[in-house]
Amino acid sequence: MSDVVLTYKTVTCRKPHVCDWCGENINLEDKAVYSTGIFDDKFYSVYMHPECDSAFQEEVRAEGGWLEYQPGEQQRGGSDE
């Protein structure tokens, strides 16, 4: 499996989105972490609450650099465990 991150930045949302980590809404004017990339030859675009992105990054480090998860299955700002 290969992953190439193309964009990773904090943005102020100009329209509503759904957090890829927790599945909750990210409202207009909220801050979010926006990332794009290519994973297994497929383009992806993801928005996460800043606290959800922090939880995701922490889980990636704990798992040794790789984490597989299902969008919307984690708690906001933390894991589902």
* Tens-digit pLDDT profile for residues 10-48: 999 999 999 999 999 999 999 999 999 998 899 999 999
From 13, 23, 12, select the one nearest 52 (Cα to Cα).
Answer: 23
Give yes or no for residue 65 having a pLDDT over 90: no
From 38, 46, 55, select the one nearest 1 (Cα to Cα).
Answer: 38
Sign of CA dihedral 7, 12, 13, 14: negative
The pLDDT confidence band at residue 56, using thresholds 50, 70 and 90, is very high
Domain ranges of the chain: 3-62
pLDDT at 3: 79
pLDDT at 79: 59
